[in-house]
């Protein structure tokens, strides 16, 4: 993988991690277009690095929220910050369990499964259409709803299912305020990404990869910059109920991917 491919993949990751169009699905499609024949471990390394960049961009965009959250947790009282942290923990449990129990099977899905990506993009489009029709309320995220949103995030492990699309759609369908839905969706993914990176470091997969340092650095920077911009934009779009446009996009890309594999 050269630096130009890494740059393109980084931009794709940064934009699609926050826009509800599936970052993993687009990365797989991009690799297919490049004719990338890297082994799954190498492909997963680049994916992890790009996700780390978007996790950092999330932290930067929500830095005030995170500082307040940390300050509240340090007090070690059952305050609003501690409750919010507990909801995030509840939300990441489903994805954590599935990711740990089915790690090998999940990694096998990130190796040119274009038909699967196409089908999952159509499913994402359906979720976005439904969410866009949901009524706007001022309801907050509850403990029970946190677990349901977590299940949506676990399903989004599949390439082609948008994580932000699935979690925000689930939140909005549950009647949660759109802005609060986006905030919770973006903050809840940070612990999972950081945890995955730590596991990969200890597993030795990163050290064994054949990707050079330059492509990884360029990909990281591109994903971080694009991610920060997309995250800020997405919050505004969710608030204005503009998800249907992304639904049309996912439908077109999904049908195209399926058509390529069939014909």
Query: Could you write out the DSSP letters of every residue in 123-187?
Result: HHHHHHHHHHHSPP--B---HHHHHHHHHHHHHTTSTTS-HHHHHHHHHHHTTB-HHHHHHHHHH
Residue from 198, 161, 205 nearest 42 by CA: 205
Which tens digit of pLDDT belongs to each residue from 164-208? 999 999 999 999 999 899 999 999 888 877 777 777 767 665 655
Residue 242 backbone dihedrals phi, psi, to 5 degrees: -110, 25
The alpha carbon dihedral of 174, 180, 181, 185 has a sign of negative
pLDDT tens by residue, 117-159: 999 999 999 999 998 888 877 889 999 999 999 999 999 988 8
Please check whether residue 10 is in contact with residue 50, taking contact to mean a CB–CB distance below 8 angstroms.
yes
pLDDT, one tens digit per residue, over 20-73 is 998 778 878 877 776 654 444 455 678 778 888 988 999 999 999 999 999 988
**pLDDT value of residue 210:** 65
Q: What are residue 234's phi and psi, to 5 degrees?
A: -65, -40
Name the residue range of residue 95's domain: 3-262
Looking at residue 205, its pLDDT comes to: 58
Query: Looking at residue 141, what is its pLDDT?
Result: 93
> Domains in the chain: how many in total?
1
Distance of CA 140 to the CA centre of its chain: 22
Q: Which of 8, 47, 11 is nearest to 209 (CA)?
A: 47
The three-state secondary structure class of 139 is strand
Read off the pTM: 0.83
Residue 262 to residue 67: CA distance in whole angstroms:
50
Residues in CB range of 139: below 8 A, 6 or more apart: 174, 175, 176, 177
Are 194 and 55 spatial neighbours (Cβ–Cβ below 8 Å)?
yes
CB count in 10 Å sphere of residue 219:
28
- Asked if pLDDT for residue 19 goes beyond 80, the answer is yes
Q: What is the pLDDT of residue 197?
A: 73
What is the DSSP-derived secondary structure letter of residue 176? B
Which residues fall within 8 angstroms of residue 110, CB to CB, at 6 or more apart? Answer: 24, 28, 40, 43, 44, 47, 159
Would you state the pLDDT for residue 95? 86
């Amino acid at each position: 993988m050269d630096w130009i491919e890494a740059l393109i993949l980084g931009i794709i990751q940064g934009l699609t991690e926050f826009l509800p169009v599936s970052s993993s699905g687009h990365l797989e499609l991009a690799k297919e277009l490049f004719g990338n024949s890297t082994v799954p471990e190498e492909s997963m390394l680049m994916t992890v690095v790009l996700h780390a960049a978007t996790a950092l961009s999330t932290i930067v965009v929500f830095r005030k929220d995170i500082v307040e959250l940390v300050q509240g947790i340090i007090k070690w009282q059952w305050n609003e910050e501690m409750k919010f942290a507990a909801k995030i923990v509840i939300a990441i449990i489903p994805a954590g369990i599935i990711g740990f129990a089915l790690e090998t099977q999940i990694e096998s899905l990130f190796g040119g499964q274009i038909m699967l990506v196409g089908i999952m993009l159509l499913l994402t489009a359906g979720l976005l259409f439904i969410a866009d029709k949901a009524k706007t309320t001022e309801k907050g995220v509850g403990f029970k709803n946190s677990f349901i949103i977590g299940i949506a995030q676990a399903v989004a492990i599949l390439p082609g299912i948008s994580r932000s699309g699935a979690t925000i759609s689930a939140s909005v369908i549950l009647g949660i305020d759109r802005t609060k839905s986006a905030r919770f969706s973006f903050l809840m993914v940070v612990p999972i990404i950081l945890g995955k990176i730590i596991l990969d470091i200890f597993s030795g997969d990163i050290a064994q990869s054949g990707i050079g340092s330059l492509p990884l650095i360029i990909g990281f920077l591109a994903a971080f910059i694009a991610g920060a911009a997309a995250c800020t934009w997405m919050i505004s779009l969710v608030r204005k109920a503009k998800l249907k446009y992304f639904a049309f996009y996912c439908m077109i890309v999904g049908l195209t991917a399926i058509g390529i594999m069939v014909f």
